[in-house]
Amino acid sequence: MLHTQLRSFHAVAKEGGFTAASEAIHVGQSTISTQIKALEDTYGVTLFHRPGRKVQISDCGEALFKISQRIIKLEEEARDLLNNYGGVLTGDLRVGAVGPYHATGILAKFNKRHPGINLTVKLGNSMEMLDQLMNYSVDVAVLAHVEDNPAIYARPFSRHPVVVFVNASHPFAKRKEIRLEELQDERFIHREMGSTTRLAFEKALQKANVTVDPVMEVGSRESVWLSVERGIGIGVVSDVEFNPHPNLRTVKITDAEIYTTAHITCLVDRLESKTVNSFFEIAESIPESQRVSN
């Protein structure tokens, strides 16, 4: 009974409401409501606040949701284990990535080797993808920045220099190289906090005692490119993530080593998963020269 009640609870917490949960797990809304009320009454807790027609998860519900996520994932792994025992991997693999550049080559090779696995990909900065990993929303993640966390297993995958890029009309556009000190007081378009490229660049500026003028902060590399293309300011990007454009030019930084390093990561307790392990093995099999797809 507890398992059935937890399944209903998890669906409501995940979908954000009883109607959506009913549609997601194909169980009547009244049945879901009865199961959650029984769970609350049995343990004397409140899992959801219900102001009007809205549903808000309680603190107890938030804590239980973290556990139910692990339970549901273990169920999926048990099912996949039984399905896969014959040697053909089936099921789902949810991949998080800071961008398509680092993950595309791995995904292509994985799909070719395991066509029975349904792949889904979520994109975001490293902090967002780390959160997705920790709450079991993704199974593996390709991150550009990894915190020292005993719950996370990380394997370095590729390393790339950070470069400055400018509008074609900017004085730096005719340059191939530049020193950090020459960026003093230049107008810059920054990515959002959590961007590994921004973090690496700002650390280098601080070390060199150089101050730039942050005129804008935007939430995607595409927005940075568009802002620089329109002459609002200068941007920085990992060299492999720069898309050639007639109105943009890249300039190498010569007096500082500024890099981003892509890591393949998963939760330590997911290392036993055959599907997750296969993803790591395929990533490791890709030659260094082919570890980025443009």
Domain at 149, CATH number = 3.40.190.10
Enter the tokens of residue 187.
Answer: 């107008």
Asked which of 59, 80, 101 is the last residue of a domain, the reply is 80
- Is the Cα torsion angle 217, 222, 225, 230 positive or negative in sign? negative
The answer to whether 142 and 266 have CB atoms below 8 angstroms apart is no
The answer to whether residue 69 scores a pLDDT higher than 60 is yes
pLDDT above 70: residue 111: yes
Average of per-residue pLDDT across 52-79:
85
Per-residue CA distances from 106 to 139, 147, 259, 278 (Å): 14, 23, 21, 11
Q: Are residues 32 and 150 in the same domain?
A: no
Same domain as 236, residue 204: yes
pTM, whole model, 2 decimals?
0.62
Of 80, 113, 139, which closes a domain?
Answer: 80
pLDDT surpassing 80 at residue 79:
no
Which of 61, 80, 99 is the C-terminal boundary of a domain? 80
Residue 273 has pLDDT above 90, yes or no: no
Cα separation, 56 vs 50, whole angstroms: 6
Domain that holds residue 217: 160-260
Mean pLDDT along residues 84-99: 76
pLDDT at 294: 40
The answer to whether residues 63 and 118 belong to one domain is: no
* pLDDT tens digit sequence for 161-212: 999 999 999 999 999 999 999 999 999 999 888 788 898 999 999 999 999 9
Whether residues 210 and 220 share a domain: the answer is yes
Of the candidates 125, 147, 133, 128, the residue with the CA atom closest to the CA atom of residue 195: 125
Instruction: Tell me, yes or no, whether 137 and 167 share the same domain.
Output: no
Supply the CATH number for residue 43's domain. Answer: 1.10.10.10
Are 11 and 23 part of one and the same domain? yes
How many structural domains are present in the chain?
3
Mean pLDDT of 27-34: 87
**Two structure tokens written together for 189:** 């378009």
The CATH number of the domain where 234 resides is what? 3.40.190.290
Lowest mean pLDDT among 39-53, 54-68, 279-293: 279-293
Mean pLDDT of the chain: 87
Q: Is the pLDDT of residue 62 over 80?
A: yes
pLDDT at 226: 93
**CA 39 to CA 36: how far, in whole Å?**
5
What's residue 83's pLDDT?
65
Both 99 and 221 in a single domain? no
Compute the C-alpha angle 95/96/97, nearest 5°: 120
Looking at the structure, tell me whether residues 231 and 166 fall in a common domain.
yes
Same domain, 136 and 193: no
- Greatest CA separation for the chain: 72
User: 269 and 148, same structural domain?
Assistant: yes
Q: Are residues 181 and 213 in the same domain?
A: yes
- Give dist(CA 104, CA 109) in Å, integer: 9
Tokens of 252: 């190498």
Same domain, 73 and 199: no
| pLDDT tens figures, 214-224 | 999 998 888 99
